[in-house]
Chain A
Amino acid sequence: MKILRALLLLPFLLGACAAPRPTVREAGVQAPEKRIEVVYPDSFRAQHRVTLTFRGKQLDFTGYLLVRRPDAWRAVAFGEFGGSLFDIADFPGRGFKIIKNPGEIRESWLTGPAAEIMRLLYLPPVAGDGDGYEISYSNYTGFPGAAQELPCHTVVENKGMRLKLEIDLVKFEPMELPDKFFDHD
């Protein structure tokens, strides 16, 4: 259970998408990729709905994400009735921190796979990141402030770990994000 709870470290994207329905992009169905560079604005906040599957078991929850590229992010997860599950952040000069973890998720998962998936999906690529992960995107939608259409449905899978994340973008908002949003002291 702790392992499964630990997997509740999902990227959270905020945006304004219609009810997520996998669609075919104009160029054709996108095959799973190890990773592609989605052109996000320099900073944004987003809300996602996430379904996690791990070793055959499933959970869903809501995520709230702040990203300031290239290297700062903060992710907060909420359960069914609004209660916080965890709050984690990574900020240059301060490093990664688990701000709170009322969901009692194993910390090694927060610091490990969670952070890795965040980097995979929302930050510029780093050598070595993403090994074992396959990512597919669909249901692209345009958002004010975004240079390109963004995927409203993302699936991240690591078959070796028997891990799968299905992420639906609910709300997306490019915005300035001062340091205080990543303050975890």
Chain B
Amino acid sequence: MKLCPLRWKFIFPALFLLTGALPAVGAEPAVERKLEPKQQGELLARLEENLKASKTLQAKFKQEKHLALFRDVLVSRGLLAFAVPSRLRWEIKEPFHSLLLLNGKELAKYDFPGGKPRRLKLPAADALYEVMSQIAGLHQGKFGEQTENYELQLYSGEAAGLVLVPKSKKLKQFIQAIEIKFSKALDSVSSVLIREGGEDFTLITFSEVSLNPELPAALFSPDLK
């Protein structure tokens, strides 16, 4: 059994191009000028170099699910930690508690009934594992690995941005584009916005980012104590 449908294996990694972040801007990206192919290549190379410089990362995140029809925004907040090459911790702290861990080859997910951690018996961790591994790869600037499934377009302007548009028509039915904004120094991600069909979108912004902090191994341990 696959935990995530195939299309989400390609979408989730783009959510986590993180090496640190400035407070994110609003939902509408401030990208301006589309770069020519040669310029894109140069910029991607520079991004990869800069992102690779961070071997660890810790940040707070705010995730907003915007529902146009319902005129509502579902907000969750939490903490992200990453360590090369493939350790990732995604913990939602409010309005509920949920924890997702990747530690090399092992994946673990927890909920917290009654405030106590309970490890979920995932039906098919391989799919989620692949997603998380791709996230880890993107964190190291491996954008080129996404060209198989996305058209990539870089923009310059007030903030450099990367837009990924699915190549698959089927996928496009559900994901119109993923928009990533970078800091001026091109060494961090400001925000990730996923545009779904209609006017719905998910926006993840990062704050209080720490690059290359010392992170205890226990932070990524799949076995909570």
Contacts and interface: CB of A to CB of B under 8 A. Distances in A.
Interface of A: 1-5, 19-22, 45, 47, 49, 51, 53-54, 56-60, 62, 64, 66, 76, 78-84, 100, 102-104, 166, 168, 170-171, 180-181
A19 B4 contact: no
Given A4-B1, A80-B98, A81-B15, A21 B204 contact: no
A81 B74 contact: no
B8 A66 contact: no
Contact of B122 (A19, A58, A82): A58
Given A60-B111, A81-B202, A83-B11, A100 B197 contact: yes
B70 A181 contact: yes
Interface of B: 1-5, 7-8, 11-12, 15, 63, 65, 67, 69-70, 72, 74, 76, 90, 95-98, 100, 109, 111, 113-115, 120-124, 173-174, 194, 196-197, 200, 202, 204
Nearest to B196: A84
Contact of A80 (B100, B114, B197, B200): B100
A13 to B, nearest CB: 13
Given A62-B65, A83-B194, 13 more contacts: A5-B1, A47-B74, A47-B95, A57-B1, A57-B123, A58-B122, A60-B109, A80-B12, A82-B194, A83-B12, A84-B200, A102-B173, A166-B113
A56 B114 CA distance: 20
B121 to A, nearest CB: 5
A79 B111 CA distance: 14
Given A49-B96, A60-B109, A83-B8, A102 B63 contact: no
Contacts of B202: 81-83
B69 A181 contact: yes
A79 B197 contact: no
Given A84-B196, A100-B197, A51 B8 contact: no
A56 B1 contact: no
A105 to B, nearest CB: 9
Nearest to B109: A60
A76 B124 CA distance: 22
Contacts of A5: 1-2, 5
A57 B96 contact: no
Contacts of B3: 1, 59
Contacts of B96: 19-20, 49, 62, 168, 170
26 contacts: A1-B124, A2-B1, A20-B96, A20-B114, A51-B120, A56-B121, A57-B122, A58-B122, A60-B120, A62-B74, A64-B72, A66-B70, A76-B67, A78-B74, A79-B8, A80-B12, A82-B63, A83-B194, A83-B196, A84-B196, A84-B200, A100-B197, A102-B7, A166-B113, A170-B95, A181-B69
Contacts of B2: 1, 5
Given A60-B98, A78-B74, A170-B95, A22 B114 contact: yes
Contact of A19 (B5, B97, B124): B97
A103 B8 CA distance: 9
A11 B126 CA distance: 27
A47 to B, nearest CB: 6
